Amino acid sequence: MQYVPVVSSTGKPLMPCHAARARQLVRQGRAVRRFNKGIFYIELLDRAEGDVQPLAVGVDPGSKREGFTIKSEAHTYLNVQAEAVDWVGKHVEGRKTLRRGRRYRKTPYRKNRQNRTRGGIPPSTKARWQLKLRVLHWLGALYPISSVVVEDVAAVTKAGQRRWNQSFSPLEVGKAWFYGAVEQMAELWLFKGYQTAEMRQALGLTKSSQKLSTKWEAHCVDSFVLATMVVGGHIEPDNKEMLILVPFQFHRRALHRANPQKGGVRPPYGGTKSLGFKRGSWVKHPKWGVCYVGGTSKGRISLHSLTIGKRLTQSAKPEDCRFLCYASWRVFHP
């Protein structure tokens, strides 16, 4: 990292400093090294307050990938590309199928509660916006963010097409909930997609058509443009390094397995605990290094790579793992 986040002795985020300056502060004993879910920062020991400059984080929402860029008038500090949460709808549908199927079998069950409307935001839509909000809170703990700039997602409605318009209503409700939550942490700016495109062309930047790519031009170019529209400053990006964020897909507790096992038994399935560790937690193992916790079997836990998500081992002893932090995602540099 060319510029390192700085946090005061009271936990307040201050302006980032150059990496050389951070090393000097650590050598002098005025700061200590810290990590927050993959981001290195320093904590000052002799300073509780400090002047900060306006910092904006641009947010480019997407159906599969999303871009986040933290920028000031002088520098671009961080680019994050996150994968969207797009599996909740299928899990909710599977849960509904299991519950309905159980009512037709000779097994104890609660009586169906009729005429209950769930209301609110559909789980699949809310999970998408919740990820954006979690990322913003994560970044806000390290950078003194003053403005959040979001490309406003607009649903195209058609006159007289009730079913078509209804399919977009959860999107409108979800983004209104997200905007209300963002306004409680920083100033909110909204721009339409065509405004982002016009500004991108004015800056002479191009956007890649490969939406699933890990290139800066895929999504972070728009988040950079959005942040520039508020804080101004340099129009040529001085930092295209990215941090890729992949949210974990937890298998939460289900009623039972979908298919019966030997003897027609449907055993319980799922859960988010592995021998005292919350699944997804980052731990440090003497052999496998920093990794995250997966499932458990026969008194052992499985460990997975933070880079590619591949399982490293199934036989790690819990006492050999040193807990680092809770996390609902893994991060890596492409």
Average pLDDT, rounded, for the chain: 90
pLDDT the model gives residue 240: 93
Per DSSP, helices labelled H in 103-150 are 123-140
How many alpha carbons lie under 13 Å from residue 239 in its C-beta half-sphere?
A: 20
Containing 91, the helix (H) or strand (E) segment is: helix 88-102
- Name the nearest CA neighbour of 64 among 208, 211, 173: 211
What are 97-148's pLDDT values in tens digits? 887 877 777 766 667 777 666 667 888 999 999 999 999 999 999 999 999 9
| Residue in the block written with tokens 């490309």 | 151
- Per the document, the length of the chain is 334
- Name the nearest CA neighbour of 207 among 194, 186, 193, 221: 221
Look at strands 322-325 and 13-18 and give their pairing. unpaired
Q: In this structure, what token pair is assigned to residue 198?
A: 């016009």
The Cα angle at residue 129 between residues 243 and 209, in degrees rounded to 5: 55
Neighbouring C-beta atoms of residue 224, cutoff 10 Å: 27
pLDDT the model gives residue 292: 97
Segment 39-62 shows an average pLDDT of 94
**CA 162 from centroid of its chain's CA atoms:** 33
Confidence of residue 201 (pLDDT cuts 50, 70, 90): very high
Task: Please name each of the domains of the chain with its CATH number.
Answer: 1-51 (no CATH), 53-86+121-247 (3.30.420.10), 257-332 (no CATH)
What are 165-197's pLDDT values in tens digits? 766 777 777 898 999 999 999 999 999 999 999
Please give the Cα distance from 318 to 334 (Å, whole number). 30
- Name the nearest CA neighbour of 280 among 4, 37, 5: 37
Q: Which residues of 299-333 are buried (b: 16+ CB within 10 A; e: fewer)?
A: ebbbbbbbeeeeebeeebebeebeeeeebbbbbbe
Containing 226, the helix (H) or strand (E) segment is: helix 220-231
> In this model, does residue 313 exceed pLDDT 80?
yes
What are 209-253's pLDDT values in tens digits? 998 999 999 999 999 999 999 999 898 889 999 999 999 998 877
Helix (H, G, I), strand (E, B) or coil at 300: strand
What are 256-294's pLDDT values in tens digits? 788 888 888 888 787 889 999 999 999 999 999 999 999
> In this model, does residue 1 exceed pLDDT 70?
no
Neighbouring C-beta atoms of residue 82, cutoff 10 Å: 23
Beta pairing partners, 284? 290, 322
pLDDT the model gives residue 200: 95
Containing 199, the helix (H) or strand (E) segment is: helix 193-203
Please give the Cα distance from 165 to 13 (Å, whole number). 43
